[in-house]
Structure 1
Amino acid sequence: MSVNNVGSAASIENVRSSEFSLSTGRATAFGAAEVGFGLMMQVAVSYFAYFLTDIALLGPAIVGTMLLINRIVDAISVPLTGAIIEKSNLPWGKYRSWMMIAPAVVAFCFIMMFRVPSGMSEVAMAIYFSVFYMLGHIFVNFSYASRFSLLPAMGNTPKSRIMVASRTNQMNTASRILFSLISLPLIMWLGGEEVRNARGFFLYMLIFATLQWVGYMISARAAKPVDIPGRWPKKNVPTGREMINQVVTNKHLIILMLAELGRFTAALSLAGFAVYFYQYVAGDMALVSMYFLSLTVGGFVGNLIGPQIAKRLGTKKTYIIGLFGQAFFLVLAYFIGREPMAFLALSGLASLSSGFGFSISGAVYSDCADYAEWKTGKSAKGIVMSLSAFPIKIAMVISGSIAAYALAAIGYVGGMPPTPEIQQGVALIATLLPAVAAVFGFICILFYNLKQDDLEIMKEEIKERQSQQA
């Protein structure tokens, strides 16, 4: 085949990709990565600190310092990985290549994170765990950013964009339900009779980190029609300065990220204070597992309802309803939710409301990426879509800091008796502080004004530019 014929073939493939029609089955396959990823990641989020202190036997002060430094590095790497993806040109597609490479590195690093090395000093072990934590989470960001960068191409109409985003988030929520039901019993069973159960954690991670890898391969295969080699013209790739400019001048993206920061801070704070509430206010620690199941089920139902609301009212109104509901139910929990089951129910409703935004966030970030490309003439989907993880990372730091400072402010000391003052303080921290974060997100999203009709015009202009370049 001649060079000219190769160019013609590439142009034909580009046209086919731009006219791609998303099926329900392909949307489901694209979201398949969330299952293994969620079952792997939830253990790392929920149990890693416990694993370090109670199984690896590192001191709490060292663990706290480790996690703070590691999370800062993780947050900083988010935009950097997006920029690297955008500048890359690997053989299996601009974004799919990273979906095929990065999850293998993630699997290896996460397995090593849950392996206790022998014969090391405490400092050496801290360095060992930090290296694999940072490397693993950096490549998680490569995996996440590359897959989310393909959301605008997978969903090239408003209806299909909402479908692929909601299907992805439904898979994520389903993995969290599975996690709440099977993770701890499975870890204990795999560990057998070991006192500290190091083997149980290691084998669990071996299974589900590998499943994460397989899930990403399925997702990469599902995305093959929209990310063929040569689809993204090199002259359409922005420079580093242009990428930064696309972010800082994209008012829609900044507003969305601030709203997401409020939503995630509220959700993470709500989950983080549950143990304190049930110990000091409700006095029934046995309900903690049921509480987390309530949050997960509420989020799952919100994921199912959110897309239906978005189809009728649009994404902005769906966000507004969700953030208002999240704040409303949290405030209500402070006044009438002192009873254990009432707190559980109202927290579940707050999680359901948060799920509205979670179900469509991928679609809204895709809209912001299209706006950036239309405005500048350069595609920076990698950097824009990677920033969808940034509010989560910052919310983790904020919610953790709020927990420490707020508990200190009310005079809390671990193991102290539940005095009326402590009960009042914990109830306020567990409900009103997350509500403040949700109100912040609600106010921010009111200023988001990227309209769907305008987006349709923008996408037509982008398509016309691409055909001219081809």
Structure 2
Amino acid sequence: MDTVKKLPFLTKISYGCVGAANMLTSVITSTYLVFFYTNGLGLSGLLAGNLTLIGSAWGWFATAMGGAIIDKSGSKKGGKCRNFIIKFLVPAAVLLVLSFLIPELSTGGKAAWVLVAHCLRASVWTMVQLPATTLMGRVTNDRVQRSHLNQVYTMMSTAGSLISVAVTMLFIEKFGADPAGVKKGFIIISIIYAVIFLFLYLLAWLGTKGYEPEEEFFEAGNLNAKPSIIEILKGVATNKMCLLAVAMYLFDLIGCMVEATAMPYYFMYNLNNMTLFSIYSTVSVIGSFSAYFVVGFFVKRFGNSGTCAIGSAIAAAGYVARFILKDAYFPAYIACLVVVLFGAGLLACSSIQCVFDSKVYGEWKLGVNAEGILMAAYSLGNTVGLALGRSAAGYLMELIPEFDQTAMEQPQNVLNLFLYESTLIPCAGFILAVVCAVILTRFEKQLPKWQEELEVRKEAQKA
């Protein structure tokens, strides 16, 4: 494909709308899903954990197959990724609402509705979000421009996430803390988010027009050069660089998802201050955005994987400080939060770049240029991390039978659980991410050599 030397600022902002839309809606289906199941539908923590895990397992399969389908497809009508987005956009928005618009049924009926809606939403959303993420690597193959595009995408993703965190619980509280109020609040806000999701994705679809190659991903007229789905899947299964990058992000997400799932309970019972959601969002802007503004400095000196290692280590240190201080001192809590989010921001900005780097390794090793399945692997790591984190939080809650969602105060062992989920568990995730990132640096050092060899091969094929 042709290299775009410099992407217009408006194109970058348009593509960034994808990140804002994804995170605005993903937070409500990840951070608050277990809370909705327990406090809105009256399900047990164990059942809530099982439902999210089973539904997500289907999503993992859908993501893997979705990546292979994208790699096998082609479109001359505006590029294949944009073609998938526009086809599945409206169904994705509708299914978001149906995930919360649950009729008054028995416990078994509610569980069945939740599971079916979850699986359908996961299948359809894969065909919107995965092509949208893959699009980042198709609008330009210039590493500098791709890095700039990713920075805008990540900043707008963070903005969407923080807005959702700040607004959602405060909005739902307006309808009351009883199950009927919680359920009504989630239904209304899911409709609002679905409309915003549609609007932002349409902006992204229009703003990237003309920047995705219209030709087939594989050379036109050489259809036999297309690898089979088995070869595509093998390409990612044997791509050590991609697997390390995915594992790094997976460990980070599991820990952070446990923390995010416990956050409503932690603020409600441990800190007795639900307004901290708004303060948390404000502080998050400072911590995360400061990382986005300086990530170029770190990448230039330490590379993508080195930046991931540094960011993960910084975040882990912040969590250790929070655990030692028990978040008892508000100024110290804010300072630790800034440190954690700064480190997490460095990792978020650089981890996806490690996956794009692994494309070179995969093509050099197997001769398969399968960008769709590599992004599917990254998205799969994302969904697995979110699912395992959510489910783990539900299972851990079930281990403490003293927890009572109708009580305003909880016993000390329950409060301890919420503290561990908010500090030690995410800390462990970042420590494991450091290990993966350090190993990944060894591969990254070989990238220039592999790229050179690939160019030689291409020239030889032309001759």
TM-score range for the pair, normalised by the shorter chain length = 0.7 to 0.9
Contact 1:236 1:377 (C-alpha < 8 Å) held by counterparts: no
**TM-score calculated relative to the size of structure 1:** 0.83
Alignment of 1:290-369 (within 5 A): 290-291=279-280, 293-295=282-284, 297-341=286-330, 342-369=332-359
In structure 1, distance between residues paired with 2:163 and 2:151: 18
Residue 86 of structure 2 corresponds to: 100
In structure 2, distance between residues paired with 1:19 and 1:170: 22
Structure 1 segments unaligned to the other structure (5+ residues): 1-13
Contact 1:153 1:226 (C-alpha < 8 Å) held by counterparts: yes
Matched, 1:398 2:388: yes
Equivalent residue of 1:26, what SS?
Answer: helix
Contact 1:144 1:386 (C-alpha < 8 Å) held by counterparts: no
Residue 365 of structure 2 corresponds to: 375
Pick from 419, 429, 432: which aligns with 1:437?
Answer: 429
The one-letter code matched in structure 1 to 2:94 is F
In structure 2, distance between residues paired with 1:99 and 1:107: 12
Contact 2:93 2:198 (C-alpha < 8 Å) held by counterparts: yes
- Shift in Å, 1:430: 3.2
- Residues 125/423 of structure 1: CA separation in 2 closer, same or farther (3 Å cut): closer
Alignment of 1:84-233 (within 5 A): 84-92=69-77, 93-117=79-103, 122-184=107-169, 196=181, 200-221=185-206, 222=208, 224-233=210-219
Query: Deviations along 1:159-201, whole A, 9 cap, x unmatched?
Result: 112111111111101112222343345567799xx96375654
In structure 1, distance between residues paired with 2:109 and 2:249: 37
Equivalent residue of 1:355, what SS?
Answer: helix
- Shift in Å, 1:252: 0.8
- Residues 278/53 of structure 1: CA separation in 2 closer, same or farther (3 Å cut): closer
- Shift in Å, 1:418: 4.5
The one-letter code matched in structure 1 to 2:99 is M
Aligned residues: 451
Contact 2:236 2:242 (C-alpha < 8 Å) held by counterparts: yes
- Shift in Å, 1:359: 1.3
Contact 2:166 2:280 (C-alpha < 8 Å) held by counterparts: no
In structure 2, distance between residues paired with 1:417 and 1:186: 24
- Shift in Å, 1:251: 1.2
Residue 10 of structure 1 corresponds to: none
The one-letter code matched in structure 2 to 1:107 is A
- Shift in Å, 1:370: 2.9
- Shift in Å, 1:385: 0.8
Matched, 1:263 2:252: yes
Of stretches 162-171 and 258-267 in structure 1, the one that deviates more from structure 2 is 258-267
Contact 1:35 1:215 (C-alpha < 8 Å) held by counterparts: yes
**TM-score calculated relative to the size of structure 2:** 0.84
Residue 241 of structure 2 corresponds to: 252
Equivalent residue of 1:357, what SS?
Answer: helix
Of stretches 200-209 and 315-324 in structure 1, the one that deviates more from structure 2 is 200-209
- Residues 77/340 of structure 1: CA separation in 2 closer, same or farther (3 Å cut): farther
In structure 1, distance between residues paired with 2:410 and 2:192: 42
Equivalent residue of 2:216, what SS?
Answer: coil
Residue 451 of structure 1 corresponds to: 444
- Residues 393/29 of structure 1: CA separation in 2 closer, same or farther (3 Å cut): same
Contact 2:259 2:426 (C-alpha < 8 Å) held by counterparts: yes
In structure 1, distance between residues paired with 2:400 and 2:99: 35
Residue 465 of structure 1 corresponds to: 458
In structure 1, distance between residues paired with 2:226 and 2:438: 32
Contact 1:237 1:379 (C-alpha < 8 Å) held by counterparts: no
Of stretches 39-48 and 69-78 in structure 1, the one that deviates more from structure 2 is 39-48
The one-letter code matched in structure 1 to 2:229 is G
Structure 2 segments unaligned to the other structure (5+ residues): none
In structure 2, distance between residues paired with 1:467 and 1:21: 29
Pick from 359, 377, 382: which aligns with 1:387?
Answer: 377
Of stretches 30-39 and 267-276 in structure 1, the one that deviates more from structure 2 is 267-276
Contact 2:361 2:447 (C-alpha < 8 Å) held by counterparts: no
The one-letter code matched in structure 1 to 2:11 is R
In structure 2, distance between residues paired with 1:214 and 1:405: 36
- Residues 337/126 of structure 1: CA separation in 2 closer, same or farther (3 Å cut): closer
- Residues 412/405 of structure 1: CA separation in 2 closer, same or farther (3 Å cut): farther
- Shift in Å, 1:242: 1.4
Matched, 1:18 2:11: no
- Shift in Å, 1:267: 2.1
- Shift in Å, 1:253: 0.9
Query: Deviations along 1:256-287, whole A, 9 cap, x unmatched?
Result: 11211222223223333445555665555554
Pick from 59, 65, 68: which aligns with 2:50?
Answer: 65
- Shift in Å, 1:463: 9.8
In structure 2, distance between residues paired with 1:310 and 1:200: 42
- Residues 56/283 of structure 1: CA separation in 2 closer, same or farther (3 Å cut): closer
In structure 2, distance between residues paired with 1:26 and 1:128: 39
Contact 2:3 2:142 (C-alpha < 8 Å) held by counterparts: no
The one-letter code matched in structure 2 to 1:362 is I
Matched, 1:29 2:14: yes
- Shift in Å, 1:310: 1.5
